[in-house]
Amino acid sequence: MSEEKYERPPASTPAVRERMRKQARKDTDCEMEVRRILWKRGFRYRVDVRPEQDLRRKADLVFRRERVVVFIDGCFWHLCPDHGVIPKFNSAWWAAKLELNRERDRQTTEFLRNRGWIVLRFWEHQSASTVAREIEIRLADLRRTYGDQARP
């Protein structure tokens, strides 16, 4: 998931800048690979769209008929329990910012579930084939239950 535009302190050191750059690229790689696998298996989806008009947040993958929405969260921006780090420089600012991201993730999930969406969240450190497989299993399940009908 890419991050929105917001004010941020300047990257304090080249190392931080480099980590942020790498992180952004890694997120894209994982998501791209998941998309590629699912597409090859015949799944069709929307990419980077708002599942609901009044939700400001976009989802990485949206399966409208099945009402399944997928987020592949970046370890840095979404404060993954395994790899999330608060940068040392401007650490109070970062801690607040990253915690806010996490809170917004929770709110987004709740909002969508209340509207009847199945919300699947993954971390970008997970292997793309595992993520794709889990999505596939959920979709196959729904198709068995609802056939070609839209899920109520």
SS3 content of the chain, % helix, strand, coil (to 5): 45, 15, 40
Candidate residues 75, 98, 112, 139; the one interacting with Zn ion per rule CB under 5 A: 75
Site map for Zn ion, 88-127, x if CB under 5 A?
A: -----------------------------------x-x--
**Rounded-to-integer distance, Cα 137 and Cα 133, Å:** 6
Q: In this complex, which beta carbon is closest to Zn ion, that of residue 2 or of residue 145? A: 2
* Spatial separation of the C-alpha atoms in residues 90 and 1, rounded to whole Å: 23
- Candidate ranges 5-13, 81-89, 112-120, 140-148; the one touching Zn ion (CB under 5 A): 81-89
Residue type, 148: D
Q: Which of 7, 54, 82, 148 binds Zn ion (CB under 5 A)?
A: 82
Cβ atoms 112, 55 nearer than 8 A: yes
The sheet that has 59-63: what strands, in order across it? 46-49, 59-63, 68-73, 118-123
Of the candidate spans 36-44, 46-54, 72-80, 140-148, the one that interacts with Zn ion by CB under 5 A turns out to be 72-80
For β-strands 46-49 and 118-123, DSSP reports them as unpaired
For Zn ion, the closer CB: 27 or 66? 27
Nearer to Zn ion, 29 or 52 (CB): 29
Residues that bind Zn ion (CB under 5 A): 75, 80, 82-83, 123, 125
